[in-house]
Structure 1
Amino acid sequence: MDFRISLAGLMVGFLIGLTGMGGGSLLAPIMILLFRVPPLWAVTSDVTYSAITKGFGTIIHARQRQINFRAALWLACGSVPAILVSVFLVQYVRAHYGHLINTILLHAIGYTLVLVAILLLARPYLLRYAEKLASKRKKAALETGESDNPGEGKEGNPSWYRRLLLILAGAFVGFLVGLTSVGSGTLIIVTLAFLYPELGPKKLVGTDIFQAFLLLLAGMVGYLSSGSINWEIVGLLLLGSLPGVYIGSKLSKFIPDQVLNPVLAVVLAVSGLKLI
């Protein structure tokens, strides 16, 4: 048993709890590049580990009332079926073209990491833009006497176009995560920032973590049924990650991420380019 994997889990769990993104994307390249874990095991272990840790993070953020459950559930309407499709695709390729599966996953992870790195750098600017947009909406609502949340229908339900965009975004990310285990945080939070600018950064993170939990839980069930999960790796990761995600979630209210995001983005970009 290599307890260095537990140290990696501690670091990644802390980053997941702190930012809701970036940390999970580090796990697959860490296992592949540092511990020489086959890409298929890296993906399935990452999905399983992340499902459990994000479930733990969900409890913390729910207690802090930092989750928009309606938005997360509409995202899940697209992401859960899509990740099951991608899990089936991985298993089909593994069964019929076994010699190609690790090469395909390696390149898919590499390109996705580069995309995540770009979005991670853009995250602060996107969140600031979303905050400005929310302020404009509130100001216009005060002037006209209308709702300051035009994207909501009756009883707080999202309008039809918000629902459609949430489902489509969830489906895209769900398929990608099932294939690579990367991007469940970064890709979705960009969508949420534009569709729900009124939420604010902390509630965006909490909503993102909850939807990622639903998405990854479905992926874990899919890979569990195929018997392709390495439980020893998952156990070692959890040994370090559970305290890490708890500390990160607790500190998410106090630690700014202006320095953290660029560092993570550079690490992800370099890791992605090495895998391509």
Structure 2
Amino acid sequence: MEFSYIVSGFAVGVLVGLTGVGGGSLMTPLLTLLFGVSPSVAVGTDLAFASITKGAGTLAHRFKGNVHWDIVKKLCLGALPAALVATLALKYFGGLDKEINQIIRYTIACSVLLTVVALMFRGRMLHWIKHHPEKQLQGRKLTIATIASGAVLGALVTVSSIGAGAIGATLLVMMYPRLSPAEIAGTDIAYAVPLTAIAAVGHWWLGSINWGLLLMLLIGSVPGITLGSLCARAIPEKVLRALLATTLTGVAVKLLST
């Protein structure tokens, strides 16, 4: 079983490093469906996993010059307070209750479906925005939209551990269409580090982190995301996103049917 955790961590790490997406969207459903981990523990463990794994990915993307720190700061201004509020809400309503676990499961499924939509239509959205420059946000409006997007993602990630990847990347594409795919991936991974760290601390407070499982996942994921981040320009993005979208659709259907 330990070897399966390591292999799963490595595979997810490579995918996150290459595209900036797929971490929570794959790891949380993988833990609940394949390994039988309860939804709340899967979310908490995945958040701790993501904060460390994406920290390694940020270093690699920074080495390649792919991180826009001004955008990271704006996203964090919205995401970090939202993560704290969501954690307090989970504590108040009972983060480990059976009913809350079921809500978390459905939240994961809905987040996965949103991720699939983001993956499928990201190219079309980018094409539309580039051909309608008058619709692009500028100045203060762009700053407000970035902070608001961070707040929405902060709440979503804290509850389900999903959203910082594909949904976050798609929002970045819409707001900053001139960024390259590698810059989108690097910036998306960088802002997710403090967000997932704060959310993970909240879940540690709630008692929903499996530390032994986390260690096994990290043994595989840290070298995986480092490798993927350094090779982000080498593999066709369309191939990866099509495969990821297909996989996530199956995951969402399975979560909703159980």
What TM-score results when the alignment is normalised by the length of structure 1? 0.87
CA deviation vs aligned residue, 1:228-263 (integer Å, no higher than 9, x gap): 211111101001101110110011021111111111
Q: Which residue matches 2:70?
A: 70
Distance in structure 2 (CA, Å) of the matches to 1:251 and 1:132: 30
Write the letter of the residue equivalent to 2:9.
G
Residue from 247, 252, 256 that aligns with 1:272: 252
Deviates more, 1:50-59 or 1:222-231: 222-231
Q: Which residue matches 1:100?
A: 99
Given the alignment of the two structures, is residue 185 of structure 1 paired with residue 185 of structure 2, yes or no? no
Alignment root-mean-square deviation, CA? 1.9
Q: Secondary structure at the match of 1:182?
A: coil
Distance in structure 2 (CA, Å) of the matches to 1:32 and 1:225: 21
Deviates more, 1:123-132 or 1:16-25: 123-132
Distance in structure 2 (CA, Å) of the matches to 1:23 and 1:163: 26
Give aligned-pair identity as a percent. 35
Distance in structure 2 (CA, Å) of the matches to 1:57 and 1:132: 32
CA deviation vs aligned residue, 1:204-224 (integer Å, no higher than 9, x gap): 111111111121111122222
Distance in structure 2 (CA, Å) of the matches to 1:150 and 1:101: 38
Q: Is the 8 A contact 1:15 1:22 kept in 2?
A: yes
Given the alignment of the two structures, is residue 125 of structure 1 paired with residue 124 of structure 2, yes or no? yes
Closer, same or farther: CA 131–17 of 1 in aligned 2, 3 Å:
farther
Q: Which residue matches 1:45?
A: 45
Q: Is the 8 A contact 1:68 1:207 kept in 2?
A: yes
Instruction: Give how far 1:266 is off.
Output: 1.4
Closer, same or farther: CA 18–217 of 1 in aligned 2, 3 Å:
same
Q: Which residue matches 1:10?
A: 10
Distance in structure 1 (CA, Å) of the matches to 2:72 and 2:35: 34
Given the alignment of the two structures, is residue 239 of structure 1 paired with residue 207 of structure 2, yes or no? no
Q: Which residue matches 1:175?
A: 155
Q: Which residue matches 1:249?
A: 229
Distance in structure 2 (CA, Å) of the matches to 1:128 and 1:261: 17
Question: For the pair shown, which has the larger CA radius of gyration, 1 or 2?
Answer: 1
Given the alignment of the two structures, is residue 57 of structure 1 paired with residue 57 of structure 2, yes or no? yes
Q: Which residue matches 1:114?
A: 113
Write the letter of the residue equivalent to 1:160.
R
Write the letter of the residue equivalent to 1:181.
S
CA deviation vs aligned residue, 1:75-96 (integer Å, no higher than 9, x gap): 111111111221222222226x
Q: Is the 8 A contact 2:9 2:221 kept in 1?
A: yes
Distance in structure 2 (CA, Å) of the matches to 1:203 and 1:131: 17
Q: Secondary structure at the match of 1:110?
A: helix
Closer, same or farther: CA 51–193 of 1 in aligned 2, 3 Å:
same
Q: Secondary structure at the match of 2:195?
A: helix
Q: Secondary structure at the match of 2:117?
A: helix
Distance in structure 2 (CA, Å) of the matches to 1:185 and 1:275: 19
Runs (5+) with no aligned partner, structure 2: none
Instruction: Give how far 1:193 is off.
Output: 1.0
Distance in structure 1 (CA, Å) of the matches to 2:252 and 2:26: 10
Q: Which residue matches 1:206?
A: 186
Runs (5+) with no aligned partner, structure 1: 138-148, 152-158
4+ residue stretches of structure 1 with deviation over 6 A?
none
Distance in structure 2 (CA, Å) of the matches to 1:102 and 1:244: 30
CA deviation vs aligned residue, 1:106-146 (integer Å, no higher than 9, x gap): 1111111111111111123334445556xx69xxxxxxxxx
Distance in structure 2 (CA, Å) of the matches to 1:216 and 1:52: 9
- Aligned pair count? 255
Instruction: Give how far 1:22 is off.
Output: 2.1
Instruction: Give how far 1:54 is off.
Output: 0.6
Distance in structure 2 (CA, Å) of the matches to 1:150 and 1:222: 34
What TM-score results when the alignment is normalised by the length of structure 2? 0.92
